[in-house]
Structure 1
Amino acid sequence: MSFPSSGLAAGMACLALLLSSCGGGGDDSDPPARVQQAVAQLDTLVPQYLARTGVPGVAVSVVYRGQTLYARGFGVRKLGESALVDEDTVFQLASVSKSVGSTVMAGHMPGSAAGGKIDWDTPIQQVLPYFQLAYPDPSLNLQLTLGDLYAHRSGLHDHAGDRLEDLGYSRDEILHRLRWASVGNRGDYAYTNFGLTAAAQGMAQAVGTDWATLSEQTLYRPLGMTHTSSRYADFAARDNRAWGHVQIDVDYDSYGAQPAHYQVQNPPRQPDAQSPAGGVSSSVSDMALWMQLVLDKGRWHGQDLISPTALQAALTARPGGKYGYGFNVGTDPHGHPTVSHSGAFLLGAGTAFILWPEEGLGITVLTNAQPRGLAEAIALAFGEQALGDAPSGAPSRDWLDFTQNSDAMHGLYKPEGKFAGQTPPASPVPPKPLVNYTGSYTNTYYGKASVSLNGDGSALELTLGPMQTKYALRHWDGDTFIFDLQGENAPRGSVSAVTFQPQAMQIEYYGGDVTHGLFTRL
């Protein structure tokens, strides 16, 4: 389904806003000409990038020294419908939620308006006593801090817990089960949604409320972020919201088509289990207020709403890395210091913000399609013009090609599994009688699983998790079978092996626990 040209033209008819800040600490001086020219160029740049990519809708906001200079929507909220994206259209932020949530955390640390005795160095077990990891030395759990978890330095393996979420486990169940996840050394960096979520859950529990309410009371309500929530139900109930879209039949080879053909993602991504890490929904008008707060070091209406010390710590890269507490910390391609984050749902969201603290400048870009570098390209193209690294209308490079063809972006679509893309053996070893493999199995981390014959008894079916997720098994060779995967954590073309052993089976895709996916027969 191609992007409707009529929808693009209508989206271009949305009004750009040149607003004064309703927040704190605004600078009354006019922005430099280079900033004003870069802002004006967005009205041309964004429609061009939309036409090239086919992405249905995007919204952009820009702030400069306490002022919202720009907030505008382009395109449509949902393919097949005429409703337009505007500055108040609500998008799912995906992992941009981490940076928003980091400011919520800092809003309850010493020096904030709310006060508090908890800080980034507080041990997680002090606020979430049940939380522990499978360190060889269990005493390390006593040293694990909120900051370790927000900086992705707990030692948990990459994206630990995400596949439990896919199976239907709740946040509390996942956080309890992480004690059986495979773990490396404390201090090693690996990106984990649920490690960070554990820290946020601990803060909320210490304050005596839930995370979504804490976020509302600490940040959204004081800033007037009336279109922002950390509850999926609030997002789903909004009339002015952007629906997630996915490229039709996208795979590693077809990724990056210009333009791509999109369809509405159904069912939509429901991220409540990892809300602190990926569950915020917001508009670019609201995100402009948040950017002003961060750029003004946590001050709002003349007071330190957010602890400046805790916020500065969040905006500072941990030793030897490029990540603080919920923020990427580094430089843009021209060497200007930045803090930033991108967000990505393979099931329909691509988002990004970049702040240039020394300039007091920031941009947020929200899109309603799975990631392909569009949000980052708009932000970088704007930034180099606003900072004088390229003349207006003459970018130093094709930023869309640069971002969408990066290994990090393209790699999101690389199929998983050792047998992905492989041809089955020409003369496989026959399996045992299929009934020999059937039965009930269990794994401490992933829970119970069952293997049964399908309806006509010709093949095996694997069922596991609270949602009773079912996979059709195909014979590969001997006691090894495979099944196809596709979803938020498994790009199209992914395949998992299942190898049966006497009284056990090992599932490749579900191998993130200390046994590496071993399910024992009950």
Structure 2
Amino acid sequence: MLLKPILLLGTLSIGALSSISSLAATQSEYIQITNNFKQNFHSQLRKSKVPGGAFVIVEGDQVLKLSTYGKRTRGGSLNVNADTVFRLASVSKTFAGTLASMLVNEKKLSWQQPIVSYLPEFTLADKQQAKDINLGHIIGQSTGLMPNSYDNLINANVDMERIINKFSELTPMCQPGVCYSYQNVAFSFIENAIEQQSGQSYEDLLQQKIFSPLNMKTASIGYDAFDQQSNRAEPHVKTKSGFRKVTVKPNYYAVAPAAGVNASITDMSKWLIANLGENPGVLSNSVIKDVTTAGVRTTKELRRRDWRTYLDNAHYGKGWRVYEFEGRPLIYHAGWVAGYVAEVSYSPELNIGMAMLLNGESRVIAKLSSNFWRDTFKRADTLTKNSH
């Protein structure tokens, strides 16, 4: 088992973090897995010609392995390092779900509250159907609306007020809470509830309740914050002739809870550790349980190319996906936005978590993560057999 040094991760420099990582690695039963993963990560990114990336693997409150690869910009001279900031895209939803759950835990919000009480201008073709959608449906991707409603308008940089008005034309495909319907625009409505109940901006509250207490020094919300980062990874899209650098698009920052967080791989190590229950003063066990309780079933996830071999079941929690990976629970979310891909996942059973951030759109990230969990769970089975 992994022994825990008395030092707190939140107060450590990168250098100290690396030394702790070495200490933890010598004590962990999964060190060979992490070594193999590092080798595989670098070779697969090189093979796929991804400009740059980073990953971290944690166990308990320790970093087992943190590694970076490539350049912040294709053809540039600056390397990706542990503090290089990437866009998290839809991994941002894990923060929104958690922040909302914190307010529910504090009795400031209720999952049963209708969204129209915070966003009265939101309506559907049938006004009563709009009133039936509550905060739990919003954050649990079970509104019943057509999947990705009005993402096309976000892509076109249409003003948010105009997009909200467009919902009056929609008829849901099912009753709220019955079917899975992934949203970005509707998911972001949680911002209105959070801001009205807290009296603070979404950005400030996220900083106050999550980023600062977890010492996530480079984490931020929004386009301006990302633009002001000197140590940031630039976005790259795949073309027939390879990866091409593009400019950062501000459009999905308009839906901050759904896709607005920026963070480094060092920040993600702290986020994972907190979600493993190792920082209960910030992220309580009741909040963790709340956001990872399975809600609607997500059958589409079971057909994912690199995951379908291993997944027995898949649901959406509250800002997190809840997978059953060959009979074992795995908490997961992925993100994609023009020029970036991100993944974060953890096993509550093994107390191990992993995150990856890339500055090039590539499917290699899904292959890497599914294979990592296959190998990690196989190692756990071996350890169990050997202990009997």
Q: Same fold (TM over 0.5)?
A: yes
Deviations along 1:66-111, one digit per CA (max 9) or x if unpaired, are 212222211111012110011111111111111122112122222x
User: Alpha-carbon deviation of 1:391?
Assistant: 11
Change (3 A) 1:31 1:275: farther
Separation in 2 of the partners of 1:191 and 1:148?
11
Change (3 A) 1:227 1:46: same
Separation in 2 of the partners of 1:170 and 1:210?
19
User: Percent same amino acid at aligned positions?
Assistant: 26
Separation in 1 of the partners of 2:85 and 2:164?
29
Conserved? CA contact 2:101–2:290, under 8 Å: no
1:196 to 187, 209, 216: 187
1:133 to 112, 121, 124: 124
Separation in 2 of the partners of 1:192 and 1:88?
30
| 1:331 and 2:324 correspond | yes
SS in 2 for 1:55: coil
SS in 2 for 1:86: coil
2:148 to 159, 163, 167: 159
Separation in 1 of the partners of 2:267 and 2:151?
28
Separation in 2 of the partners of 1:244 and 1:354?
23
2:333 to 331, 334, 341: 341
Separation in 2 of the partners of 1:310 and 1:175?
29
TM-score by structure 1 length?
Answer: 0.62
Change (3 A) 1:210 1:132: farther
Separation in 2 of the partners of 1:246 and 1:168?
19
User: Alpha-carbon deviation of 1:368?
Assistant: 0.5
TM-score by structure 2 length?
Answer: 0.82
Structure 2 equivalent of residue 437 of structure 1: none
2:113 counterpart letter in structure 1: T
Conserved? CA contact 1:17–1:70, under 8 Å: no
Structure 2 equivalent of residue 233 of structure 1: 224
Cα RMSD over matched residues? 2.7
Separation in 1 of the partners of 2:93 and 2:223?
16
Conserved? CA contact 2:147–2:181, under 8 Å: yes
User: Alpha-carbon deviation of 1:316?
Assistant: 1.5
Conserved? CA contact 2:83–2:264, under 8 Å: yes
| 1:78 and 2:78 correspond | no
SS in 1 for 2:146: coil
Please tell me whether Structure 1 or Structure 2 has the larger radius of gyration of its CA atoms: 1
Structure 1 equivalent of residue 356 of structure 2: 365
Structure 1 equivalent of residue 132 of structure 2: 143
User: Alpha-carbon deviation of 1:269?
Assistant: 5.2
User: Alpha-carbon deviation of 1:201?
Assistant: 2.7
Conserved? CA contact 1:67–1:292, under 8 Å: yes
| 1:377 and 2:352 correspond | no
User: Alpha-carbon deviation of 1:15?
Assistant: 9.4
SS in 2 for 1:169: coil
User: Alpha-carbon deviation of 1:171?
Assistant: 3.1
Separation in 1 of the partners of 2:271 and 2:227?
22
1:68 to 53, 57, 63: 63
Using the TM superposition, name which of 121-130 and 228-237 deviates more.
Answer: 121-130
Deviations along 1:429-454, one digit per CA (max 9) or x if unpaired, are xxxxxxxxxxxxxxxxxxxxxxxxxx
Conserved? CA contact 2:296–2:317, under 8 Å: no
Structure 1 spans left out of the alignment, 5+ residues: 1-13, 22-26, 250-259, 393-522
User: Alpha-carbon deviation of 1:30?
Assistant: 6.5
Deviations along 1:257-284, one digit per CA (max 9) or x if unpaired, are xxx7111013545422111111111111
Separation in 1 of the partners of 2:55 and 2:212?
22
Conserved? CA contact 2:72–2:234, under 8 Å: yes
Separation in 2 of the partners of 1:391 and 1:83?
41
| Count of matched residue pairs | 350
Separation in 1 of the partners of 2:115 and 2:268?
29
Conserved? CA contact 1:128–1:205, under 8 Å: no
The residue correspondences of 1:105-504 to structure 2 (distance < 5 A) are 105-110=100-105, 115-135=106-126, 138-185=127-174, 186=176, 187-249=178-240, 261-266=242-247, 268=249, 270-296=251-277, 300=279, 303=281, 305-321=282-298, 322-332=315-325, 334-345=326-337, 347-370=338-361, 372-389=362-379
Change (3 A) 1:46 1:343: same
Deviations along 1:281-301, one digit per CA (max 9) or x if unpaired, are 1111101111111110xx63x
1:150 counterpart letter in structure 2: I
Q: Which gives a bigger RCO, structure 1 or 2 (Cα 8 Å, sep 6+)? A: 2
Conserved? CA contact 1:338–1:354, under 8 Å: yes
2:46 counterpart letter in structure 1: A
Separation in 2 of the partners of 1:337 and 1:54?
33
Structure 2 spans left out of the alignment, 5+ residues: 1-13, 299-314, 383-388
Conserved? CA contact 1:341–1:354, under 8 Å: yes
SS in 1 for 2:155: helix
Separation in 1 of the partners of 2:224 and 2:103?
25
User: Alpha-carbon deviation of 1:310?
Assistant: 3.8
Structure 2 equivalent of residue 36 of structure 1: 31
Separation in 1 of the partners of 2:367 and 2:25?
29
Structure 2 equivalent of residue 88 of structure 1: 83
Change (3 A) 1:130 1:311: farther
Separation in 2 of the partners of 1:331 and 1:87?
31
SS in 2 for 1:222: coil
2:340 counterpart letter in structure 1: A
Separation in 2 of the partners of 1:228 and 1:116?
27
Separation in 2 of the partners of 1:86 and 1:16?
15
User: Alpha-carbon deviation of 1:173?
Assistant: 3.6
Deviations along 1:408-466, one digit per CA (max 9) or x if unpaired, are xxxxxxxxxxxxxxxxxxxxxxxxxxxxxxxxxxxxxxxxxxxxxxxxxxxxxxxxxxx
